[in-house]
Amino acid sequence: MLKRIQRIQNIGKFADCNTAGCEFADNTIIFGYNTHGKSTLTAILRSLQTGNNNILIGRKTFGATGSKKVEIDFDENTVNEKHIFQNKVWNKANPNILIFDSKFITENVFEGEGITFDQQKNMNTIIIGKYGSDLNEEVGKLQKQCDDYENSKRSKSLEFSRHFPNVDLDKFNAIKQDVDIDKKLKEKDKEIKFEKDKEEIKTLVKSHIQTITSIDFSTKSTLQKSLDVKQQEIEDHIKSHFENEENAQNFLNDGLSFLKAKQIDGKNRSCVFCGQELGVNAEKLIDIYSDFFKGGYKELQGEISVAIDSFKRVNIEALVTKIASDLKTRDLDIGLTDEKVSEIKELKISFESELDKKRDLNYSVIFTDFDKLKIEIDRIKGELEEIERERLNIVSPKSLLDLEKEKQVLEVNQKRFNQAWVTFCSDVADIETKAKATRKLRDDKRKELEVYSTSIFDTHKKTINEFCGTMCADFEIEDFKPLKKIVGQDERIFAIKFFGSHKISINENNDNTPSFRNTMSESDKRLLAFAFFLSMLANDKELDKKIIVLDDPMSSFDSERRRKTIQLITDVSCKYKDSNGLEKIVCPIQKIILTHDDRFAKELLRLMTSASTLKIEEYVDAGNKRSRIVHSDFLKDFPDDEIIDKIEKLKQILDKRQFTVSFETDCRVVLENIFKRKYYFDLKDLIVDRKSIRSFVTKLKELSINDFNTDPKFNKFIRLCDDLNIELHDNGSSTTNGNKESILKDFFEDIKII
């Protein structure tokens, strides 16, 4: 608890306030007139409570040049703890101080004619208390973590969007790996390329079909022909007997045409050139030549030669190679691999070798390779025709745009499982997992806070309304509930209901509608704020650790609320049941009440008989008004009857002959008071017109009351009025001490006469 304020230097009106010896008690009442320094003292305690040094830094003592300093002693478990404000900072704070003053009201309840949302947020914080605040703080931290995770995910999403425009990150993350993705992409590229080159391919395929169709395999029927002639013997004969082999056949053909036919009788014929008889061998040779020239050998040889040359001229290898190359360039496959082209080439070469044997017209060509070659060429032609028929001459089922989109999907799928994006998605999944767990924990804490807040608000609603009722308020609070949206400003934590049925809004601004600002008096508003504060204390289970400071709790209250307010301050406590169900009562460790109302101070003292009583008094130093804290005897400083007190002081002046002290005003006040009490109904009109003694005596003379119509009595009072300058204002004469003594004696005699 606070034991003493050792020193206050250069803060507000406390230029050099050394209050050593002014002990604070469990209950301490401090009296001070307005502007003397009560608010400054409260500000010092608030700065100490909050640790906010700026509260004191800005409170400059006018005319002071020194630095600010405060030194306060606290008794902490019988140990003296010094709290010092020096060099613009406290050495330590004391959070166990609770203050009710105008700042508490403006920060937490109302300001002027309205209640702001920020004030309701502060009130919400006060009502839910430390446990609720801890929960709320935990919710706030969890929300911050949720926001951080959300920001991390948003950052990841932005990074992702730069690489994958128009792709949803969650869907990307959920993609299943496709082991055939590379193959599918290649196939899709082929589809796209084919669609782009379709017209060109169509022309090319048509050309290849025409070219390959031009290969003439009908020569097989020609090449199958043969003649049974002894061609070798003819050639040997010509080589043996003719110098010029080129014309030999013509010569022999001419001679054979001149030769006579064979004789029936079998006689030998003669040579047409030399006349010699032709023998058996000659006749045999003539028969061979006859078969050669007369059997169409030469024509057949020419026909076969043409067929062979025609077949050999076709460069099947180049044609097939070109087809294979063109199709491969356009990603079309008809099985024309390099091996297949080589195979076709070998078949061609092999069959050409077979054709070389056909010089002998008697030779029967083996067509195995020829037939294989024809089968391959026919297959190639068939494949080309199928491509033309099935793919080139029909409308494509998918547009080029559709194919491009499908490719994009495949590319996204492929990139999803690149190591960089596998790591990326793993990070995103980790963020989401943590975010989900944090959101659940946050929601659980929110629910816990909501349940607790609702319960504690219900409790406070009951105690607030009880305090309002105790202080004779015509209203109570209604719809008291915790804020749910700390960032929104459309919620209100309570409404006010008058006379049990008329509910008014606390945020209505329409003058035509009853509301807080046009229905609540200043006294009502302050009463409501005080009820909030008392409820805060009544529900604080750690109240026994708290120092309660009340700065002018009765500044605007109606007089009929004074008695109950004093009782409520005196009886501040928190009643609750502990975990074992036992009822506990805890009271503040200390109460410090500051007031400018001497009657309020005295009545508090009657209930707090052991309270320490101090006052803040003002003095002048070098032309500047200063304040200091001193002891005060409220019974002497604030007597119950001011008139009796003034009479006592006047008697003391007379008895002690202290005529340097002014007494004229007090004499007038005492006389007026006595006349008003004794002759109120006779002097009522004059009292209303604020008249004084001279007028009172004149009126009583007119009414012939109590011998005031007699000259001795009337004149005695008129002379006293002259001496006291009552209703005269123009008496410029000075009065000696002897005359002052005489005047005071007459004053006391006149009191007896009245």
- Residue 100 near residue 533, CB atoms below 8 Å: yes
DSSP strand pairing (502-504 vs 583-586): unpaired
pLDDT in tens, 457-503: 888 889 988 988 998 888 888 877 777 654 444 556 667 788 888 77
What pLDDT is recorded for position 488?
47
Residue 127 confidence (pLDDT) above 80: no
Judged by average pLDDT, the poorest of 22-31, 106-115, 412-421, 623-632 is 106-115
CA distance 5 to 614: 12
Q: What is the CA radius of gyration of the chain?
A: 65
Sheet (strand 590-595) strand order: 97-100, 547-551, 590-595, 27-32, 612-621, 624-631
Per the listing, tokens 């009126």 go with 699
What pLDDT is recorded for position 116?
67
Buried/exposed code over 99-110 (b: 16+ C-beta within 10 A; e: otherwise): bbbeebbeebbb
pLDDT band of 395, cuts 50, 70, 90: confident
Judged by average pLDDT, the poorest of 151-165, 297-311, 414-428 is 297-311
What pLDDT is recorded for position 235?
67
What pLDDT is recorded for position 548?
97
What pLDDT is recorded for position 230?
56
Judged by average pLDDT, the poorest of 242-251, 313-322, 549-558 is 242-251
Does domain 1-96+589-638 fall under CATH 3.40.1130? My reply is no
DSSP string, 296-308: THHHHHHHHHHHH
Q: What residues form DSSP beta bridges with 593?
A: 29, 550
Show the tokens assigned to 527: 């009463």
Which of 234 and 378 is assigned the larger pLDDT? 378
User: Where do runs of H (alpha helix) occur along 471-581?
Assistant: 516-519, 522-538, 562-570
Amino acid at 12: G
Percent of the chain with pLDDT over 90: 45
DSSP strand pairing (547-551 vs 97-100): parallel
What pLDDT is recorded for position 115?
66
- Residue 704 near residue 725, CB atoms below 8 Å: no
Residues with Cβ < 8 Å from 3, sequence gap 6 or more? 23, 24, 73, 74, 75, 80
pLDDT in tens, 711-736: 999 999 999 999 998 887 555 556 67
109: nearest Cα among 448, 391, 651, 529: 529
pLDDT band of 666, cuts 50, 70, 90: very high
586: nearest Cα among 600, 576, 596: 576
What pLDDT is recorded for position 123?
72
What pLDDT is recorded for position 27?
96
Calculate mean pLDDT across residues 422-446.
Answer: 93
CA distance 461 to 495: 11
- Count CB atoms within 10 A of the CB of residue 450: 14
44: nearest Cα among 17, 75, 11, 16: 11
Rounded to the nearest 5°, which phi and psi values hold at 336?
A: -85, 70
What pLDDT is recorded for position 209?
92
Calculate mean pLDDT across residues 673-697.
Answer: 93
What pLDDT is recorded for position 41?
94
DSSP strand pairing (547-551 vs 590-595): parallel
Calculate mean pLDDT across residues 351-375.
Answer: 86
Residue 366 confidence (pLDDT) above 80: yes
Percent of the chain with pLDDT over 70: 84
Calculate mean pLDDT across residues 195-221.
Answer: 89
pLDDT in tens, 107-120: 877 665 566 667 66
Is the four-CA dihedral 685, 691, 693, 697 of positive or negative sign? negative
- Count CB atoms within 10 A of the CB of residue 513: 11
CA distance 425 to 420: 9
Amino acid at 340: K
What pLDDT is recorded for position 107?
81
What pLDDT is recorded for position 248?
64
Inter-CA distances, 348 with 210, 319, 344, 355, Å: 20, 12, 6, 10
Residue 206 confidence (pLDDT) above 90: yes
**Which uninterrupted H or E stretch holds 85?**
strand 79-86
What pLDDT is recorded for position 451?
86
pLDDT band of 393, cuts 50, 70, 90: confident
Q: What residues form DSSP beta bridges with 626?
A: 619
Residue 379 confidence (pLDDT) above 90: yes
How do the domains of the chain map onto residue ranges?
A: 1-96+589-638, 198-392, 641-753
Show the tokens assigned to 242: 């003719």
Q: What residues form DSSP beta bridges with 30?
A: 594, 614
Judged by average pLDDT, the poorest of 281-295, 388-402, 519-533 is 281-295
pLDDT band of 137, cuts 50, 70, 90: confident
Residue 685 confidence (pLDDT) above 60: yes
- Residue 127 near residue 482, CB atoms below 8 Å: yes
User: Where do runs of H (alpha helix) occur along 174-197?
Assistant: 181-196
Calculate mean pLDDT across residues 588-617.
Answer: 93
Classify 731 as helix, strand or coil: coil
What pLDDT is recorded for position 31?
94
What is the pLDDT of the chain when averaged over all its residues? 85
